[in-house]
Structure 1
Amino acid sequence: MPHLKLRDGAELFYKDWGNPNGSIVIFSHGWPLSSDNWENQMFYLADQGYRVIAHDRRGHGRSTQTWHGNNMDTFVDDLEELFSYLKVKDAVMVGHSHGGGEVTHYLGKHGTGRFKKAVLVGAVPPLMLKTNSNPEGTEKSVFDTFRQAMRKDRAQFFLDVPSGPFFGFNRSGAEKSEGQIRSWWQQGMNTSFKSAYDSIKDFSETDFTEDLKRINIPVLVLHGDDDQVVPIEAAGLKSSKLLPQGKLKIYKGGSHAIHNVNVEEVNKDLLDFIKS
């Protein structure tokens, strides 16, 4: 399995699928998952002739479980090393949830030189946390309960999240997938406790407002209007307005995991946007 040794000795796992000479699409996963969460989109686009690349964020999946560096600045610096090594250029960047924050901060910090477009799916920007200037955000006490649940029984907490709000399986009439739940649990438990714990603060308290304003390429924002994890009012609706070239598509009744639940629709939207 390919790994890249980073500047501090940590090893970053990545997948590099499809046509090696095809146009490049990069995927960044959400919390507390791995590149496996994008497998449907990666397979679909690779089958269309694209080169698709996805990494396991440090501390996640098959990457090194570092004790320090579980923060957005480190994550995006890791990506710049990976993109330099793989000679990424003229590519499209796609991120879900925490990974959408990673995409946003990468483009805000390192610029858009390697990329022509980006896609944010159920992404955390501009800011999840409720503040005086962000009244639509989520109370800090909610994220405190995440940390408490991890300390008490991480394994059970990582069953409760996918069984309920993540995929929207707690909604009346939802078609529950035991396989999706087990896959989420497995990915989450393969992430280090420290990285998963630290990342709660990272995805909830990082303010991406200025990053969004700096992104000078077209960005497609896909968000479910029944996202129980990252409510659209505090995220997709705001991000699409802050982005200089933002375009919003709302998935009616869509959960936080529209790319896992509404697979065919998301795949089509990605391909249409990439080709446009």
Structure 2
Amino acid sequence: MGTITTPDGTTIFYKDWGPRDGQPIVFHHGWPLSADDWDNQMLFFLSHGYRVIAHDRRGHGRSSQTPSGHDMDTYAADVAALAGALDLRDAVHVGHSTGGGEVARYVARAEPGRVAKAVLVGAVPPVMVKSESNPGGLPIEVFDGFRAALAANRAQFFIDVPSGPFYGFNRPGAEVSQGLIDNWWRQGMMGAANAHYECIKAFSETDFTEDLRKIDVPVLVAHGTDDQVVPYEDSAPLTAELLKNATLKSYEGYPHGMLSTHPDVLNADILAFVRS
């Protein structure tokens, strides 16, 4: 574990495990979580000989609680600073939800040789909010509701989200894991309320269309069909169409947080993609 300091003085916390000469796999977490959300995947890929890295986005987890910079351009710049500091080459960047947007923006702008492949899991691209150009998106009122709930009682909101739509625990017959709910709350409450509030705009209103069109490396687009946070039809198929070299893999009935509810399936599929 360590930290880097970005050009604007922000401290970014990261984990870096495994052989220095192993192929790097970099994990980008969702809102409002931290690098800890990838514990299962990091241990899995570490056991297969990879160098595994995960960072806490600014304002999240153990990174600086900054007054500004809670936008996708800055998030991507922070990743570029981390990749430069660690001199990561031929890395695979894996992003979940908001982290998928971060991956798209970073990979589209990355220095040649830095990125070999990318994986988007339940990711927010191309764009979430409804508009004339994105009629299948979610109304802005949905995200206004997120902001209102966070401002009113963040601690309760961060129980309600994982208890319900995030992991699909609100579905009939769902096998509820209290540990996942508690860990989601723990990670969320480590971060800054202002960062989480402003990040809602970043993940919901940023248009990644041009980023996706610029990406040349192979990309695995993995998405659950019962994703209640980032609806499948307005995300994964549209993202795959915009990419030059995409593999779309749909998971019937899987929820938004499938990396935690079905890690055995997701880990094996990502490993096969990385090795392919």
Match of 2:249 in 1: 249
Q: Superposition RMSD on alpha carbons, in Å?
A: 0.8
Return the offset for 1:125.
0.1
Match of 2:31 in 1: 31
Match of 2:223 in 1: 223
Return the offset for 1:112.
5.4
- Find the aligned partners of 2:225 and 2:112 in 1 and give their Cα distance: 29
- Find the aligned partners of 1:112 and 1:66 in 2 and give their Cα distance: 30
Write out aligned runs for 1:1-276 (5 A). 1-110=1-110, 113-276=113-276
TM-score by length of 1: 0.99
Identify the range of structure 1 (234-243 vs 199-208) with the bigger mean alpha-carbon deviation. Answer: 234-243
Return the offset for 1:8.
1.4
Return the offset for 1:12.
0.4
- Contact 1:112–1:217 (Cα < 8 Å) also in 2: no
- Find the aligned partners of 1:41 and 1:20 in 2 and give their Cα distance: 18
**Gap runs ≥5 in structure 2:** none
- Find the aligned partners of 1:220 and 1:108 in 2 and give their Cα distance: 15
- Find the aligned partners of 1:111 and 1:27 in 2 and give their Cα distance: 18
TM-score by length of 2: 0.99
- Find the aligned partners of 2:170 and 2:227 in 1 and give their Cα distance: 12
**Gap runs ≥5 in structure 1:** none
Give the letter for the 2:260 counterpart: N
Return the offset for 1:113.
3.1
- 2:171 alignment partner, SS class: coil
Deviations 1:39-70 (A, max 9, x none): 10010000110000110000000000001111
Deviations 1:176-226 (A, max 9, x none): 000000000010111100100000000000000000010001100000000
- Find the aligned partners of 2:169 and 2:17 in 1 and give their Cα distance: 31
Name the CA shift for 1:112/1:240 in 2 (closer, same or farther; >3 Å).
Answer: farther
Return the offset for 1:20.
2.0
Return the offset for 1:6.
1.4
Give the letter for the 1:132 counterpart: E
- Find the aligned partners of 1:154 and 1:209 in 2 and give their Cα distance: 31
Return the offset for 1:111.
5.1
